[in-house]
Copies of this chain bind each other. A is one copy, B any other.
Amino acid sequence: MPQNRLIGTPVRGLDTPALLIDLDAMERNLQKMADRLAGGGLRLRAHSKTHKSPILARKQMELGAVGVCCQKVSEAEVMVAGGVQDILVSSEVVSPPKLRRLMALARHARLMVVVDDPRGAELLSEAACEAGSGIGVLVDVDVGQGRCGVPPGAPAAEVGKFVDSLPGLDLRGFQAYEGKAQHIDGFEARRKMYEEATARIRETAEGFASAGLSTRVRSGGGTGTWRWDLEAGVLSELQSGSYLFMDAHYCSVGGPEGPVYDDFEPSLFVLTTVVSTPSSDRVVVDGGHKSLSSDSGWPVCKDIEVVYSAGGDEHGILTIPAGYPRPDLGDTLLFQPSHCDTTINLHDRYWGIRGGMSGGVLETVWPVAARGMVQ
């Protein structure tokens, strides 16, 4: 990468906007998750839709992760090309071109895919047979998210039986992602939703067992519930991805009882530059919708007290509260993204910083290799 010529540059001397990793903080997050899961029945299968980087996926696997999840076939192709050999495609795949690609990839890596529909299972089976390959399958169960998935318990087991009867498909268990519970504000409210979801997961595991179906893989959970997932002992694989970086949004979902999920440190930031200082209480930075996603709210400035407001595609407008100093033209300002996944997907590379966000230096440049892989 030509950007490697900049290695050793002080962090605040990098051009902006730039997607920065605090390597020290990220490595502590990696190690903390690995330590907490070590030796237990819950293994990490980190969701690579967060980082989109085979380099980071391999770091997770070196510390014990069994593999990664991918949301898209094209993400899985990038992961396999980058040396990751064990992948769960955690979204339903139904279109003929993607089915062909999935089954071709299954000849070169250990793949699983989810299904939530008998017709979807037939499509997978036909594609596997046509390609002369086989693939692991999990039944996708809706345990409260209200997105994809079959109802828990007996209906899930029915789909499982059908999958089990089809050639080319190796039923391994089910996926039960409690997507809604991840983002509920308030410790007790989140625990209540989590427990309702977990009851549905148990019901599904029992349904599968009664039908004589494999429950070897029970995949779900995330950064918003992982401690409970660890205690409950219901899942076998944890899909947590955001723990690596921690979104401002995740850190803030505390509700009235205060923060729930402070196990991990923020380690992902976007560095910006003040490009305009039009008034005593307003400055403008060079990061807008195209470098900081807004689907989960505004980014949080880590350097000074400001109120961020949208300034279009390429600008952020910062209002300085009364009594606070105004930064100067050319100053850099660091932001924590509200949502890491969608912010990372806007950038072509990570700038890895060693020694902190104030005095650190550039140690490595990593491509966001699966950025834009939406198919």
Using CB atoms and an 8 Å cutoff, list the residues of chain A in contact with chain B. 15-18, 49, 71-72, 91-95, 97-98, 116-117, 119-120, 123, 140, 142, 146-150, 179, 273-278, 282, 284, 286-287, 289-291, 293-295, 310-315, 317, 329-330, 339, 341-342, 345-348, 371-372, 374-375
Contacts of A16 in B (CB 8 A): 95, 375
In the assembled complex, which residues on chain B have CB atoms less than 8 Å from the CB atom of A372?
Answer: 290, 346-348, 371
Nearest chain B residue, comparing its CB with the CB of A275: B92
Given the interface pairs A92-B276, A119-B329, A150-B278, the reply to whether A314 lies near B374 with Cβ below 8 Å is yes
Assembled-state Cα–Cα distance A86/B360 (Å): 40
Chain B residues, Cβ within 8 Å of A330:
94-95, 123
Contact of A374 among B72, B290, B294, B341 (CB under 8 A): B290
**In the complex the two chains form, is A374's CB within 8 Å of B347's CB?**
yes
Complex contact A148–B278 (CB within 8 A): yes
16 additional contacts (CB under 8 A) given A72-B314, A93-B275, A314-B374: A15-B95, A16-B375, A92-B276, A94-B275, A94-B330, A117-B329, A119-B329, A147-B278, A147-B312, A148-B275, A148-B284, A150-B278, A179-B312, A289-B341, A345-B346, A371-B372
Q: Are B49 and A313 in contact (CB under 8 A)?
A: yes
CA distance A372 to B276 in the complex (A): 22
Chain B residues in 8 Å Cβ range of A294: 294-295
Would A116 and B278 count as touching, CB distance under 8 A?
yes
Chain B residues with CB below 8 A from A293, complex form: 289
- Name the 5 nearest CB pairs between A and B, nearest first: A148-B276, A15-B97, A92-B275, A71-B314, A291-B374
Residues of B contacting A17 with CB < 8 Å? 374-375
Residue of B nearest to A348 (CB): B372
Q: B342–A311 contact, CB under 8 A?
A: no
Tell me which residues across on chain B come within 8 A of A347, comparing CB atoms. 372, 374
Q: Determine how close the nearest CB of chain B comes to the CB of A34; give it in whole angstroms.
A: 25
Give chain B residues whose Cβ lies under 8 Å from the Cβ of A284.
Answer: 92, 147-148
| Distance of A20 from chain B, by nearest CB (Å) | 13
| Pairs across A and B, CB under 8 Å, 12 listed | A91-B314, A91-B315, A92-B276, A93-B275, A147-B276, A147-B315, A148-B284, A148-B315, A289-B295, A290-B345, A290-B372, A346-B346
B295–A149 contact, CB under 8 A?
A: no
A146 to B274, alpha carbons, bound, how many Å? 15
In the assembled complex, the Cα of A116 lies from the Cα of B279 at a distance in Å of 11
By a CB distance below 8 angstroms, the chain B residues around A273 are 94-95
A91's partner among B72, B116, B286 (CB-CB below 8 A) is B286
A49 to B291, CA, bound (A): 13
Which of chain B's residues have a CB closer than 8 A to the CB of A117? 276-277, 329
Partner of A290 from B276, B290, B342 at Cβ < 8 Å: B342
Question: Which residues does chain B contribute within 8 Å of A95, judged by CB atoms?
Answer: 15-16, 273, 330
Instruction: Please give, as numbers and ranges, the residues of chain B lying within 8 Å of A290 by CB-CB distance.
Output: 341-342, 345, 372, 374
Taking CB atoms, residues of chain B closer than 8 Å to A146 are 282, 317
Give Cα A330 to B339, complex, Å: 30
**A119–B374 CA distance with the chains assembled, in angstroms:** 43
Alpha-carbon distance between A71 and B276 when the two chains are bound, in angstroms: 14
A319 shortest CB reach to chain B, Å: 10
A1 to chain B, nearest CB (A): 15
Alpha-carbon distance A375/B117, docked complex (angstroms): 45
